[in-house]
Amino acid sequence: MNSEHKLLTKNKKIIVFASGEGTNAENIINYFEPHDTINVSHLFSNNPNAGALQRAYMHENISVGHFDRQSFYETDEMLDLLKDIQPSLIVLAGFLWKFPEKIIDAFPNKIINIHPALLPKYGGKGMYGDHVHRAVLENNESESGITVHYVTKDYDEGKIIFQLKTKVENNETVRSLRDKIHVMEYKNFPQVIEKLLSE
């Protein structure tokens, strides 16, 4: 009876979009699995070979799907599916395609992204993953960090929800900075999501 009640009260649904390995996505899934009112109900990817899909398949309560450019940009297939699901929040966790305006307009202030730098620096098209960390190091920045922001029609330009800084050490490498940023993402991104859905 308790487990049935718990499922009934999980009334806040998160949809995760991911393009790559899906470590952030899986971390979010794991964080909310024991949660009383919030759960990840779906994970979608534009990449049929994404590790994120395989990670999500391991969780039996999550619906997993792959889509192509046509269903995302040229038709309303993806838009209609999202409207049917009615998520409380859409979370981009390493999702590399630009979100269509029609979906952004249908879910105002309900789509968020995490960026591995301190926006507005090092944002924009092509600035993801190691490209960001390399640019930070090449410009001899003294700090980097993470930024959680709302998604708009322009890459990485939505209102900032949360930022956290970390020092860039003198001997920092792309790999060491990436690892440091990942730890920050894993710890803070689920907490930011939880806070947004509790307001």
Annotation marks residue 35 as catalytic? no
CA distance 48 to 175: 26
Could you give the CA distance from residue 117 to residue 166 in angstroms, rounded to a whole number?
Answer: 10
Q: Are 116 and 42 in contact (CB under 8 A)?
A: no
Element (H, E) at 194: helix 174-198
Which residue among the candidates 35, 66, 115, 133 is catalytic per the annotation?
115
Contact in structure between 102 and 79 (CB atoms under 8 Å): yes
3: helix, strand or coil: helix
Residues acting as catalytic residues: 115
